Structure 1
Amino acid sequence: MPNVGNGGKLARAVGKEEYLRSEARLMGDQVFAQNSTKRERRTIVPTFAYSAEETKKILANCKAKGVTIAHAMFALCNIAWSRRASSTVAPCMIYSALNLRPNMLPTSDTDASSSYFHLAVGYFNIVLPCLLPSTLATDDLFWYRARMTKAQTTKAVKTPFLISRSRETNNVRRGRAIKWAKVDDKAAAAAGKLPLAKTSENAFSVTQKLGPESSPAVSERDQEKPQEPAWKPAPQRALMGMSMLGNLDGMYSHKTFPTLQLQSLTTGSRQRSGGLLLFAYTFAGKLWMSLGYDVNGFAPGEIEGFWKEVGDLAGEVLL
């Protein structure tokens, strides 16, 4: 990715401060009930598939309201959850991925150290209220929150701080990944699947490869114990993650294989125990919504009831 501003220290400092402030503004305290009993992860992917005729109607309705199906998905999950939530006072936060390819610099063919593979993905959050006003029809509320999602998405994509936010997010997620890698390696070593000495060396070598230039320097001031804030920070817990894959018919060339009829595809994600991620996309002219989650990670009936509510609400407001 390009440097922040002119690449100077001031530009990086401003970018980091803006990132911290944008993160501090996030609010969310709606979460699914977890399973009280620790069990082995088992991921299932229940899916709603709509016919080509239904898909055309859904897309036409979204276009008429000035939103996309991606915006509608956030509103759909928000209201479906609100109908089942024990309290609707706290807002609902949902995270999603952001395409960074338009902001990437071209890779030089002569750079032997470069990779052919790039995960050009950033992240952003959508925060929506959970209140269900009795004086507002469900249909009107749904499209209003879809437009709220559109406004927040546009703001996240078009912010002049997109590069700095993405770089700071990378630093945070990199540190988190190293931390969890050490935890996983220690667990594997305890189970006899990996020598502990090798685990330590790997963790050390990964940290060393980051180097002082790619890791943010920690000053003496940063090492000081932070003062307790005068106010209690707002909770920042996300309900779920969503991945809007778009129209996959442009990726799968159906006409290239005339003797084969591609009917469906199976989504999948690398999840930890208790993970949950919703995929939405069009394929073979149909709209698909797939919910991949750890069936053993949540309270019995928690996700099943939510998913049924999503399907019922979709039929109520989209068709």
Structure 2
Amino acid sequence: MTEITVLFQGSEFDFSSYKGVTGTINDWGFTDTSMAANILRSQYLGINKGAAKQQRLAAEGLKEVMDKYPNARVNLYAHSLGSMDGQVALASLEDSYLQRIDGAYLYEGPNTYPVLTDKQKQQVDKIKYKIFNYVDTNDLIPIGYPASGSEGVVGTLVRINSKQTGDWISQHMWGGYDYKAGYLNVQEADLQGYHLARVKQVQEQLELKRQSLSGLYQKVSAGGYTRTESIYMDSEQAMAFTASLSDVAAISVEAVMAFCDYGISKVSGKWAALLSQASLVPNALFLSEAEIVDALAQAGATKDTIETRVINELEEIRAKAVKIKEDFSALSASIADGIRKMTEADEGLAKEYQIWGSIQKTK
């Protein structure tokens, strides 16, 4: 097993059975309430009572799973109470475990950083760029976060530009999450930190792939390697490299698109607003709209310079960014297709290549 995904469940909300009722009371009545009190007490009074029992059990559980699959890389996903479990569990890992975490994606949970021990804070900060803590600011549940930045937070704080759902349960269950052109609508203040963390995460994964392939090269070359083995290594290295570059390109495009979309939204309607303001100037009260437009043009202000030209430029930048992303995807597809055609042209090579690939995937 080379990769595992760990899921931490949110608070139970089930009154259809005795088990569901007891689970709901335990989660909401004891764990959530005590953790909320601990977070606020630590944050505002400086009295740290530590994490609740469930979070400590979650930490033990994560280690048990990682011990069961000692060669596996780990991705973690969690929501609400599960987010608190995940935060404390990650903070409780020693370095040997932290090195195996590829990414953690936490949604709509309170910030547990204030109740962590100094050692736990030190540990979890080591992988801050690999933990993404998503928060809808219209959700009532995620408490304890700073007004700006990710200081004093487990991971990188990613605030969402959300829409109001009118229902706190729906709001808490991702109902307010908004997307622009298929991309999560992240608040402008968090965009830079979010994308820098994503790029650093992808770069690390690229380096891990490189190290893994280098190790295979050394192992095989020590005893001499066949044409099939050499082709397999070269192709795997190329695929790993281009896949990671595609990831970096996608992240970069997200940043560029968000910048362009924000700029366009700010510029759109600016000319109409300027005309409206100009018409209220005392000297312009008796001028027609055409005369006001002419007067503004003499000062260098036209719809083209104020709005159209800027929007066109931003749209052009946006289109180029999307094209770059598409080019990277096409490159990856071309490499994969080239490998396929190469092996199909030689039936014997194809069989050996398939066997060699299967052997490596079982290691």
| TM-score normalised by L of structure 2 | 0.20
- Ranked by relative contact order (alpha carbons within 8 Å, sequence separation 6 or more), the top structure is 1
What TM-score comes out, normalization by structure 1 length? 0.22
